[in-house]
Amino acid sequence: MDRAARILVVEDDDNVRYVTVAALRQASFDVEEVPNGRDALRRLNESSTVADLVVLDVLLPDLDGFEVCRRIRSAGVDVPVVFLTARDATEDRLRGLTIGGDDYLTKPFSVEELVARVQVILRRVGKEPRPTLVMIGDVELDDDARTVRKSGVEVPLSPTEYKLLRFLMRNAGKAMSRGQILDHVWDYDFEGESTVVETFVSSLRKKLDGDGRRLIHTVRGVGYRLQADTR
């Protein structure tokens, strides 16, 4: 099975970086994040396979994104670059594309649009990600077919139940807070109450638990952790 495409996100704003990384991971990318240009250059110099695409902020605290891109290209690295910036002047766009950028997205931006542009570029260069098959215990999630099976039997899930299960399975073994779940499953600007998480977790448990075993465990004071119960 082909590996997921690797994305390096270079962004100094913690909130923007968090949302960007979350959206790309939700889209099945393997994402690494760094907060400045020097760390980005260091990672890219360490290995030519560290990234299949770079999402690069322009206004960084050390080297600006244009300089980072210029150094990447001077070193002969042809990894695609998508610029993120608050600058929307035509000359800035032209500069970014002229020095070797592949696309330019201005802030504030839609994470859905960012993911779509990344997918288009990777498809163009022949590195489109292939969603992987995830299996925890006797539950198997196939993101290609968008199906879930338990002990080989397909389990019908609503679109939201599927998104919730996929997020938890991709973070198996980790305690995920209700806030994190809301951010990733209901989008980061969702303003609903955390009780919606309990409702959908309860629904998933009814469909996936059995034989006295529980897949989604409550972590008191935090949220939930998905882990196969081996009892």
Residues 154 and 164: beta-carbon distance below 8 Å: no
Q: What is the mean pLDDT of the chain?
A: 84
- pTM for the full predicted model: 0.56
Which tens digits make up the pLDDT trace of 169-225? 888 888 888 888 887 777 544 455 558 889 999 999 999 987 778 899 999 988 999
Residues in the chain: 231
Give the tokens for residue 175. 């305690």
Handedness of CA 192, 195, 201, 204 (dihedral sign): negative
Which tens digits make up the pLDDT trace of 4-47? 788 999 999 999 999 999 999 988 888 999 999 999 998 888 76
Question: β-strand 223-226 against 216-219: which pairing, if any?
Answer: antiparallel
Determine the average pLDDT of the residues in 120-130: 71
Characterise 100 by phi-psi region: left (phi > 0), alpha (psi -120 to 50), beta (else).
left
What does the radius of gyration of the chain's CA atoms come to, in whole angstroms? 20
State residue 1's pLDDT score.
Answer: 37
